[in-house]
Amino acid sequence: MNAPSRQPDDLLSELQCHGVRWQDQSTGLSRRGGAGPSDHKALTLGAHTAMVPVLNQASLDSPYEARPSSDGDLALIFREGRQVGQVEIPGVPKFYARSTADGIPYWKIATLHSRDVLATTLLQHCIRMNDAATSCQFCAIGQSLAAGKTIARKRPEQLAEVATAAVELDGVKHMVMTTGTPQTRDRGAAILCEAAAAVTAAVDLPIQAQCEPPDEDSWFQRLKDSGVVSLGMHLEAVTEPVRRKIMPGKAEVPMSRYFEAFEAAVEVFGRGQVSTYILAGLGDPEDAIAEMSERLATIGVYPFVVPFVPIDGTPLAHHPKPDNALMQRLYPRIGASLRRHGLHSDDIRAGCAKCGACSALKHHE
């Protein structure tokens, strides 16, 4: 007999933390490696879509199992043999079938995230990635390149071509441009400007850029002038011991620099259009995450708190899975900060916090 279906938010949050054992790995849209939500599938329940881990080791011991339908549009979710829900699986985007004139498949240039976000990593290389003394231990940026699933550098004209097709064929609504951090002092801001200018010249698509704080705050206006409408600068961890342990290279950028950059960026992009990723489950205490979120929201920065999901092939592949109980305590606290300071994901013009699929925070705003 089927168990009663759970509330969509509860079930998606559970699946996001535990992962799902997927019966048929060939079905639907998923990807392995890369920046952002790797080893995930986008699953939709009611009006909500969440990126759920299905390909990593951690999901193999999940109490949840998905049995996809034969046409791959739906999957039934079971826990201990009892059905607890049913999710929709988005089809393969139409733009994935196309290639550039020089034969590069569009899906190697940008991918669909969640239901309507086009995402790309401009530079699939980072100054910190090849040295354990500097690399971010959660990051899988080199994996998809090594696996031939992407190209090392996405040129502005390639992005303009793919973005145009993704809007026309699949109705994408906004775009996330992230980048591995290059050697240059601008931390990638210059290539983000070039790419954003090319995309906005070709198609009407709001763009979020993501980078480390650049050397000069004048980059924020240049990014805006190039068509970027919102900006992400990602703390990832909020306390110094966790920063130094998990991301020793990036931790060399002091928190004080992040806060200077946040304030300067909010001046340019406006309150709520600047955001940061915070990975819960890496060791930061719950109170530290809640307090940092309040501090960020006070200055107009949206704290996008997501459960950290271990990715295979990274040093943290066997890190404990995120604790859904921790997330369920954190979300309402951060939601209260967002309300107190008038921040809402729907007001964000583009980017991860607008998409929200890597977290259940949206449902607690």
Using CB under 6 A, list all residues that contact ligand SF4.
36-37, 51, 113-114, 117, 119, 176, 352, 355, 357-358
Q: How many residues does the chain have?
A: 365
> Angle at which helices 324-340 and 8-18 pack, to 10 degrees?
120
Comparing CA positions, the residue from 313, 231, 228, 245 lying closest to residue 279 is 245
CB nearer ligand SF4, residue 36 or residue 227: 36
Amino acid (1-letter code) at residue 156: P
Residue 102 CB, nearest distance to ligand SF4 (Å)?
27
Cβ proximity of 114 and 357 under 8 Å: yes
Sign of the C-alpha dihedral computed for residues 56, 60, 64 and 69 taken in this order: positive
Nearer to ligand SF4, 90 or 264 (CB): 90
| Minimum separation from the CB atom of position 281 to ligand SF4 (A) | 16
In the complex, minimum distance from the CB of residue 2 to ligand SF4, in angstroms, rounded to a whole number: 30
Nearer to ligand SF4, 106 or 302 (CB): 302
The nearest distance, CB 119 to ligand SF4, in angstroms, is: 5
- Indicate the residue among 209 and 264 with the shorter CB distance to ligand SF4: 209
Residues 6+ apart with CB under 8 A from 341: 271, 297, 298, 300
Instruction: State the minimum distance, in angstroms, from the CB of residue 120 to ligand SF4.
Output: 11
Q: What radius of gyration do the chain's Cα atoms show?
A: 19
The encoded tokens of residue 321 equal 């899975």
Q: Which backbone phi and psi does 34 adopt, to 5 degrees? A: 95, 175
Which residues have a Cβ under 8 Å from the Cβ of 283 and sit 6 or more positions away? 237, 239, 241, 242, 245, 246
Q: Which is nearer to ligand SF4, 29 or 264 (CB)?
A: 29
Taking the least distance from each CB to ligand SF4, the nearer of 141 and 357 is 357
Q: Give the nearest distance from C-beta 354 to ligand SF4 in angstroms.
A: 8
Residue 38 or 337: which CB sits closer to ligand SF4? 38
Residue 324 near residue 61 (C-beta atoms within 8 A):
no
- Output the smallest distance, CB 357 to ligand SF4, in A: 4
Work out how close the CB of 151 gets to ligand SF4 at its nearest, in angstroms, rounded to a whole number: 19
Among 331, 233, 232, smallest CA distance to 17 is for 331
Place of tokens 């013009």: 349
Q: Which is nearer to ligand SF4, 237 or 358 (CB)?
A: 358
CA 71 to chain centre: 28
